[in-house]
Amino acid sequence: MKKFTRKLFLLFALSALPFMVQAQTGKVADSATPALNIPTVTLANGVKMPVLGFGTFTLTGDVGEKSVATALALGYRLIDTAAIYRNEEEIGAAIRKSGIDRASLFITTKLWQSDSGYEGTKRAFEASMKKLGVDYIDLYLIHWPRGDVRGSWRAMEELYKAGKIKAIGVSNFEPEQLAALIKTARIKPMVNQIEIHPFFQQKEAQQANEKLGIRVQAWSPFAQGRNNLFTNPVLAAIGKKHNKSVAQVTLRWLMQRGLSTIPRTSERSEMMENLDIFDFELDAADMQKISTLDLKTTLFPEWRKNITFPSD
């Protein structure tokens, strides 16, 4: 009965979201986004990117296609994937079946290190577009600072100038690696997607990126539940204060830091829950309490090995 009541509450909350967002942003949902209009951030080139998107890491096969289809039906418009996720075809199928106007979507995919270099990047990009079934990508990222980064970036600059990519960026780049890339780049990265969650807050990295005019996007905002995030007493107490879940508190904390993020789930109720973050605000005391959770180190050391791009 308790589970049913929670689902009923979430359904009610979601139906009210367009009006909540209108009150927060002055915008109303358009006909292309019937569920809600998620606020956006503006990239250095003027492209607008939703602050809240849908991550797809590990969502493959039928589960991947159904999850993306559900997310789109609920109102998500930013879909994040990568070549290494091996689910671009499933995402493309979900997009086509949704009937949503391509211009209403924001699709991100990423270049894997084995395809780095000028020619490899060109081939990998065309392969990703074919699998996704689109004629342009909204945001294309170098997934990790490994391999021939400069060659890859030169190819991405050309694809951007040709109109095949609306915005280009990187992922998992340290400030020193960004500086090294910018030394030879003709176009600066517009986005840097990095690990940020309450246990690894990366405030200095955010400041360094923003000083360069680079938007920061948080991956794994829930740290995949590591360090018992979903039962953390600090986050739980803040959630109780606002009648929100730990997940909602975490996403709202990111929004109020000016960050966009891409939480992932295959559960419809959790997708809805993640959308319901625009009707409350954390106060200064809440933000300060969350700041005390920062361990100042990654919770994914296994992913951060062999960072080889030179910093000089």
Global pTM reads 0.87
Whether residue 31 has pLDDT greater than 90: no
Whether residue 234 has pLDDT greater than 90: yes
Say which CATH topology domain 38-293 has. Answer: TIM Barrel (3.20.20)
Q: Which of 85, 118, 136, 140 is catalytic?
A: 85
The rounded percent of the chain whose pLDDT value lies above 70 is: 86
Q: Sign of the CA dihedral 77, 82, 88, 90?
A: negative
Give the position of tokens 């909350």: 13
Whether residue 229 has pLDDT greater than 50: yes
Annotated active-site residue 85? The verdict is yes
Which of residues 74 and 19 earns the better pLDDT score?
74
Average pLDDT, the chain: 89
DSSP state letters, 133-169? T-S-EEEEEESSS-SSHHHHHHHHHHHHHTTSEEEEE
Whether residue 30 has pLDDT greater than 80: no
Whether residue 148 has pLDDT greater than 80: yes
**All structural domains of the chain with their residue ranges:** 38-293
Confidence of residue 306 (pLDDT cuts 50, 70, 90): low
